[in-house]
Each structure stands twice: as C-alpha cells, then as structure tokens.
Chains A and B, each alone.
Chain A
C-alpha cells in the first residue's frame, strides 16, 4: 500500500491545485473577500453570502473535501506500511467519514441560513458555526485516540523499540571501534 499511498497524495494535491486554478478563473463578484463595514472603522463585513458562493461554492466544497482526504492520507503515511492493516484502514475510513459529516453539516447549515435568514443556536454559536468550532476541533479526536491509545500497536511497537535500541547499540559499537 505504501507505494500507492504517495500517488494518492500526489493526485489529491494535483486535484486541489486544479480547483484553485478553476477558482482563479471563475467569474468574480464584488467584495468576494469582504468589504469595510459601513459604520465601524476596522471592521469588515461579509455582505451577500449567496452571491459570494454563486460561482465557486461547489469548487470550494470539493477543495475542502479533498483536503480532509489529504489529512487522512498523510496521517496514514506516518504509520509504518506493515502496520496499515484492514482494521487500521477501516478506522481511518471512519475518521474520514466523520470529517466529511462535520464539513457537510457546516456547509449545508450555512446554505440553509442563506436561504431562510434564520438559524438556531448550539452552545453560544449559530448551528453552522458551532459545527465549525466544536465539530472541527473535536473531529481530530479519532486521530489523537489512534496515536495515544494505539501508540504501541501502530506507531512505535515493542518490536520497533527493540530494533531502534539495536540500531543505537550498533552505532555506539562502530564509534568505539
């Protein structure tokens, strides 16, 4: 799988580059990245959210989805090839689905607000923003659990540690000679 993984990463990055080019070539709208607030100096306002997403909404959605895939692939690259078992890939697949779900909830919640102009709140924030704040922050917990709880199974096993100590011993012996 190792030989394929770097190609998956490469293809993902190339697709993201292509999307960036497409966004650069898309029709622009005024104040797409905000404008000065009409009343308060130093503040920026977003203005018409629907207009800002009109030409690039789908592209931006795909860009973020690819970025989430890239994050999972990169994390997998950090695990030795022989430890990437079916169980490991199932876990990483589940983690990716959680990330996609959070991203979809955030994006669709924003779209719903743009259509209706109303929103409910969760723990102090509008729902779409709450998905961003809490969902994104907590969305990495599966990766952190894999690293901390699965450290001796996936990251640095007893066998790895023995190999590493042996390597250090050999280097020490060579330097003594």
Chain B
C-alpha cells in the first residue's frame, strides 16, 4: 500500500471533488430563487446546519496554519480553539434566535439585510456590506491559494504531474469550487458542508490516535520533551506570552458571533427550536476536528526537538510532513480530502456572502431597491468574484503580497470588531442606535487598517485586533447611550421583546 501512497491520496481528493460537482448539479434543481440561493429558503434541518456551521468555522487555516502555529509558538495558539465552546455558546445566546426571527419577519437574505432592518438604517447596511466584501476578498484569495499549493504538492509527487504549475492548480481547484457554488448556491454549499464536516471529524479523531502512538510515552512524552527544551512553550501562555494568548481568547471567543459566514447559517434553519440541538452538535464537530490542530503541532515540535525528524523548512509544513511520515496512506488520503473540505467549505460560505453583499445589499443601500433578476446576477457575480479572488491570489503569490496582507487584516479580527457589537449586542439591547453602530464599524475598520498599514507593534504582544474590538465595543455602547433612543418599528419591537 505504501508504494501507492500518492495515488491513494489523489484518488481520495478526486472522489471528494466529484462528489462536490454532483452535489452542485443536484442542488441546482432545488434552487428556484435568490432566497434559495443565499439562505436555502430557511428550510434546513438541525444536522445539516450543525455540520455546515462548524465546517465553515474551521478553514484551511485550521488544518494547515493551526498545526504550524503550535509548532512555532507552542501552547499560545491553543487559546484560539479552547475558547470555541464559549464562543459557540455566546453566538447562540446572543444571535441565533433573533437573527432567525428578523430574517423571517422581514424576509432577509443576508446579514446586512438583518442589520438594516434592526437599525432602520441604510448606512449600517452599506458599511457592513463593504466590510464583508473587503474581508471576503482577502479570505477567498488566501483560501484559493492554499488549496492550489496543497494540490500542487500532492500532484507533483506523481510522475505524470511532476511539473504541474501553480496556475493550473488554481484553475482546477477554483473550477470545482465555482461549479458547485454557481449551480447550487448555498444549498450545494451546505450539503457539501455535511460531508466536509464528517470528513473533518473523522480525520481529527484518527490523527489524534496516530499522534499518540508516535512516542512510546504518548502525548505526555511529547509535551515533556517540549517542556524540557523551553518551559514557556508548553505552559498555558506559550512562547507568544500572556497578552497575545488572552487577546486570541477574546477575539476568537467573542468574535465567533461576529463572523458573517457563520451567523448567516443561523438564518437557514427550519425552526428556531432546532437551535437547542444545533449548538451542542456544532461544538462537538468542531472539537473533534480541532484535535488535529493540537495533536499534529505538539508531536511535530517534539519530534524535531528530540531529533526524530529534521527541522521543518516552514512551520506550515507541519501537517503535510506529519501525514507523509507518520500516517498510513489511507489515513493520509482521508486527511488530504479533509483539508480540501475545510478550505472549500469556508470558501463557498465566503463566496455566498460576498455575492449577496454585491448584488443585493450595496445596490439596496445606494438606490433603495435590489436589482432585477437577483438569481441570474447572483450566479454571474459568484463566478466573477471567484475569478477575481483567484487572480488576486496568483498576483500576490508571484508579484506582490502586500495587497493580500492588507486585506488579510480584514480577516477574523476585523469581522469580530466591526460586526459583534452591532449584531450580538444590538439584537439584545433596544437602546442600541444607528449612530452607535456606525461609530463601532468605522472605528473597527480604521484601527485595523492603521495598525496593519503602519506596521504598529504593541508591547507584550497585544493584538491590534483586540484594541479595535474593545474600542468598537466602548464606542458602540457609549455613543448609543448618549444618542437619542430610537423609535423601533412595531415588528422589530416585538422581535426584541421575545
């Protein structure tokens, strides 16, 4: 079996991609209008929503960057994932019920739609839509690039595709992504998410078992090797220190309820009562998949320190090298398919919300009404958005990475800082005003942009995203308290009272 390692891995990835294409064709017949395309007609069952929610949370970053971070900075990066249980809980307490109600009452198909209804403000709709488009471009470009790099690494190991170029890999991977997103919209996206989520959970569990067998003394031997080399790396605050760790805890924990691609999924369930089972199921899936992040990172750092393997050229090589050295080919095939699943499940969610912002929200904010024939334009814009992001990814890879780095600042932390106060607090506090919302969004964007552009390094590893988040919270509540309490429409008043 070992002689066919590369063929087995390629076979697993091809089977997965064929599945995505078939799902796209199947979902196309169920997509009749823009509501089906963007929010699946609000008719999804709890298992589908749970798996879609957690698989969209854990992107390629979780499968590639996560183990790389543990290799690089030790336990510091654990803070990004151990907060997930609190993050999911807060997301459901603060957002899940009311976002679904407002979507129903006002027939909303996007997050900016919901917030425009809540604040009765087109300015809020516009700012959130622009934030989403900027963030989506950065996220999508990095996801597409990651997908192509992994594909190139797999294919170049075979005789037939030894010289395959990155551009070809971008074209192949983007084509599959575009096909199922365009044909089936969010319906294809969430049903592929179900399989993607299942693969990720299985991969996480199997990798943990494999990782525990690398050293005779299991995980404890690995952690004691790291501890003996550098005590801080294996202690709770890791190599990056206490403030970086607590900053991640804050931004990743509270920020989960501010991620547009996740909260939009909370609008898609058939019944509000399903939320009581969606929360534990999503969290269980996330924890299972995140086992891969922790276990690969710890084992690879210990293996290098102990001289079992050579030092890695790059920390991000941790996952792929672990798979090629320590796992059998079948497991490697499952995990590589899981990696594509993680990247694609996040990418399709971003394509969907980015398209909604462009064809639905920005026109509505500017001209007061949506464009005609939304479904047709949704499909066109999905293709254009994916092509622009793919071109952008290639340009940044070959020419200049600065632009992607800047838009990369509009990642998780910016979404968290600009959307969390406005959405999570705004849906639960009638005193929140449009002025407060605008102040929070603008401050979050400006602070993140300035810190990124000016290359400001804060003492003790304090994150720029943490500063932006706290300023945004202070301004949102403070400005709302000092501005005139809004007159809510009767239906909004009723929703906020329930």
Interface residues of A (CB under 8 A from B): 6, 9-10, 13-14, 16-17, 20, 23-24, 26, 28, 32-34, 37, 40-49, 52-53, 56-57, 60, 63-64, 67, 70-71, 74-75, 77-80, 106-107, 109-110, 113, 117, 119, 121, 123-126, 128-129, 131-133, 136-141, 143-144, 147-148, 151, 155-156, 160-161, 163-164, 167-168, 171
Contact = CB atoms under 8 A, between A and B. Distances in A.
A77 B250 contact: no
Which residue of A79, A113, A140, A155 has the most chain B CB atoms within 10 A of its CB atom?
Answer: A140
A164 B101 contact: yes
B234 A171 contact: no
B461 interface: yes
Interface stretch (B155-163, B319-327, B468-476): B468-476
Interface in B68-98: 71-76, 78-79, 82-86, 88-90, 92-94, 97
Contacts of A75: 89-90, 93-94
A17 B245 CA distance: 17
Given A16-B470, A74-B90, A138 B85 contact: yes
Interface string B261-299: 000000000001101110110010001000000100000
* A interface secondary structure, majority: helix
Nearest to A148: B276
Interface string B423-462: 0110011010000000000000000000000000011111
Interface of B: 71-76, 78-79, 82-86, 88-90, 92-94, 97, 101, 104-105, 212, 218-220, 222-224, 227, 229-244, 246, 249-250, 253-254, 272-273, 275-277, 279-280, 283, 287, 294, 301, 304-305, 311-315, 424-425, 428-429, 431, 458-462, 466-467, 470-471, 473-474, 477-478, 481, 491, 494-495, 497-498
B86 A143 contact: yes
Nearest to B427: A78
A163 B498 CA distance: 8
Contacts, number: 258
Given A42-B71, A71-B253, A171 B232 contact: no
Nearest to A113: B235
User: Nearest 10 A-B pairs (CB), nearest first?
Assistant: A46-B232, A33-B461, A124-B219, A78-B93, A140-B85, A151-B276, A44-B239, A34-B239, A143-B89, A136-B82
A13 B459 contact: no
Given A136-B83, A144-B283, A67 B250 contact: yes
Contacts of B498: 80, 156, 160, 163-164
Given A24-B462, A60-B242, 15 more contacts: A6-B429, A17-B470, A20-B462, A28-B459, A33-B240, A41-B311, A42-B314, A45-B229, A70-B254, A74-B90, A74-B254, A80-B498, A126-B235, A144-B89, A167-B495
Nearest to B76: A34
A10 B239 contact: no
A138 B242 CA distance: 21
